[in-house]
Structure 1
Amino acid sequence: MEPSNITSGLPEDYVTHPFTSLSKLSIEAERVLERLNQNDDAGNQYILVLNLPRAIRSQLVENKNVLHGINFRLMFERTTALIKVVPSEPHETATSRLRDHITASAVLAGTSMDDILWSGKTTHRPSVAADKGKQAHDCFIPPTRQPRGNQPQGWPSLVIETGVSESLTRLRHDARWWFENSEGAVRTVILLSIKRIQKTILLEKWQLSPPGQSVTLQQALRIQQMAIPPMPPLGLQQAANQYPFIAQTATITTANATGSLPIHLHYQALFDRAPGPGQPDIRLDAAALMRLAVSLQ
């Protein structure tokens, strides 16, 4: 399997923008957002930026309002960057409600709020010197990887990537990027593909199989039918030995949620430690998932 790269799986109508100035890039982002708004969040949300100066890249990384306040997420490789324009409230609402439900479930199970850290638009790199990086829509940093003293922040254990339905293929490549570049330190990636016109969210929960063990489509379908899917591997894996697959999936509306329910997050994989007494795994049932679609009404 070829490694995922910055152009993998982009929609056919993605925008290519040779960089000349930040103001022109902001205008391009405004055009993409305007087209999305006109089409009820259907269509392209990506801008591929070429010849991006390092100083401008730093501004995109550090200043969330640098594109005239337009909400976006960034990925980059050397002088090429991929900007994902976040179109509307349902995308942020779905992501934040998923995050909040996971947090509330963990706290109700006795987890301290001090152990819970969501990292939002933090840029993650394979190494400090690496000339590539990526921002998640949101991500969870377990206690063992949180910045303390001289210890820098580590990889998230859970990543959430959200996009319009036309971006689903690209989102799947995003899942692979997180697994490959973290060498399996990222254990779970949840994709939220939003169809605003149909008032529907497709959720896919991705994870890795044990090192070197491929997963056929039939095997993945059997796993999706399990009451409790297997826990993601806890050790690191080189990218060449990885086999990511969809462990669970759900179709969500404001009226119902169907699929491999409940969506199951293993406590040990999420918090990078064994659960204590009375700390169960986190389960997202139909009622919890339906709340993700509340702003699609």
Structure 2
Amino acid sequence: MASITSRSAASRSAASRSEASPSVSASAASTRPTSVGSKQDDEVSTTRFTNVQDLFNVINCTPGDFLVVTHVSPSCFAEIERERDKRRRKFRFRRYDSSSQTLLITIPGDLHEQLHGGIYDKFTNQLARTGREDRWKSIRTATRQAQQGHPGGSEGQGDSTGGPKPERDPPGAWPTLVIEAGASESLAELHNDMRWWFSTSDHQVKIVLLVKFQRTGGVITLEKWEEESPGPPRPGATTTCHASLQQPVLRQAINITRDPTTNPVSYNVTSGALVFGFRLLFLRDPGPGEGDFVMSVPELEDYAKYIWTQL
């Protein structure tokens, strides 16, 4: 059977590395992403593609929710996609880039799905309570491509995504809201995901929420990213040109820290409630009875409490 190696395993001996199956090689590099207020080692499994069956075997024994696959040509990617659909495998293509021949795979276990789904479901429930559910399209994990002509170029699948109707209702339309979660995926790699969504959508994505679970230290980090332009457009500049100058900006950073020393266990939220701006979500000003989406501190505490039941 094929084997995998985590990127944080650089300190293992050469003898140990040589025991891996020759059909799948693995790279080892140290990864130390820094989150807001904490630091931890993230073990990201990496494997070299040889054939579909070996890859599926690797996915079966990958311990986390994230796998990096190298040496994946466009034709190999098309084969992986066909076999995934044929065998009804549930893993997702976080991102594929044909130029680097790198495929990032999400392996959606219970923890991973609750990290993003717990927030997205709270958002859609709030829409339903205010009678706005018919004005929102849940795109969920649908694939979005950087260019036509699949399987070349770049494409990705979000964890939870959606956008307003009718503006983002047509098939293939980009969402305004993207939520990406990671447990074994590093915060640095999640930042790459965020940048991909903004740039590849030609800035049609308006909010990217990153959710990073850190078992060490008992912290869930939420980062809400938006974009802003460096200044007003210069005279004569086109709208498209000005949009291309937009840069990601971290609007909110929230840490939810588990405290096992209390009885019962408590969850401490720093930096307040999570807020999604109405204008960015719906691409218009709010009308009567409409406003920003807010996930309060008590709701964030309840969310974190449930996340820890998924371990």
Q: 1:16-54 CA distances to partner (integer Å, 9 max, x unpaired)?
A: 544332111111222323xx3xxxx7xxx3222313343
Q: Match for residue 62 of structure 2?
A: 32
Partners of 1:296 and 1:71 in 2: how far apart? 22
Q: Find the residue that maps to 1:208 and give its secondary structure.
A: strand
Partners of 1:195 and 1:87 in 2: how far apart? 17
Letter in 1 for 2:163: I
Change over 3 Å in CA distance of 1:70–1:28 after alignment to 2: farther
Partners of 2:126 and 2:106 in 1: how far apart? 30
Q: Match for residue 268 of structure 1?
A: 279
2:254 aligned residue (250, 255, 269): 250
Q: Match for residue 308 of structure 2?
A: 296
Q: Is the 8 A contact 2:138 2:161 kept in 1?
A: yes
Change over 3 Å in CA distance of 1:236–1:201 after alignment to 2: farther
Q: Match for residue 156 of structure 2?
A: 134
2:91 aligned residue (71, 89, 93): 71
Q: 1:228-269 CA distances to partner (integer Å, 9 max, x unpaired)?
A: xxxxxxx86767512212100111246334233221111121
Q: Is the 8 A contact 2:159 2:181 kept in 1?
A: yes
Q: Is the 8 A contact 2:225 2:252 kept in 1?
A: yes
Partners of 1:62 and 1:213 in 2: how far apart? 48
Letter in 1 for 2:202: E
Q: 1:110-134 CA distances to partner (integer Å, 9 max, x unpaired)?
A: 31x2222222221111333462111
1:128-167 aligned at under 5 Å gives the runs 128-129=148-149, 131-147=153-169, 151-164=170-183, 167=186
Q: Find the residue that maps to 1:162 and give its secondary structure.
A: strand
Cα deviation for residue 177 of structure 1 reads 1.0
Partners of 2:242 and 2:30 in 1: how far apart? 25
Q: Does residue 82 in structure 1 map to residue 97 in structure 2?
A: no
What is the identity percentage for the equivalent residue pairs of Structure 1 and Structure 2?
Answer: 25
Q: Is the 8 A contact 2:144 2:172 kept in 1?
A: no
Q: Find the residue that maps to 2:62 and give its secondary structure.
A: helix
2:70 aligned residue (41, 45, 49): 49
Partners of 1:275 and 1:110 in 2: how far apart? 14
Partners of 2:67 and 2:167 in 1: how far apart? 31
Q: Match for residue 187 of structure 1?
A: 206
Looking at secondary structure, tell me which structure has more helix per residue.
Answer: 1
**Structure of larger gyration radius:** 2
2:49 aligned residue (19, 25, 46): 19
Letter in 1 for 2:296: D
Change over 3 Å in CA distance of 1:242–1:100 after alignment to 2: same
Q: Find the residue that maps to 2:166 and give its secondary structure.
A: helix
Q: Find the residue that maps to 1:241 and give its secondary structure.
A: coil
Q: Match for residue 114 of structure 2?
A: 93
Q: Does residue 204 in structure 1 map to residue 223 in structure 2?
A: yes
**Which structure has the higher relative contact order (CA within 8 Å, separation 6+)?**
1
Letter in 2 for 1:138: S
Letter in 2 for 1:131: G
Aligned residue pairs, count: 254
Q: 1:172-193 CA distances to partner (integer Å, 9 max, x unpaired)?
A: 1111111111121111100000
Q: Match for residue 25 of structure 2?
A: none
Q: Is the 8 A contact 2:159 2:180 kept in 1?
A: yes
Partners of 1:238 and 1:28 in 2: how far apart? 44
Q: Match for residue 175 of structure 1?
A: 194
Q: Is the 8 A contact 2:145 2:155 kept in 1?
A: yes
Cα deviation for residue 137 of structure 1 reads 1.3
Partners of 1:58 and 1:116 in 2: how far apart? 34
Partners of 1:201 and 1:236 in 2: how far apart? 37
* Length-normalised TM-score, structure 2: 0.71
The alignment yields a C-alpha RMSD, in angstroms, of 3.1
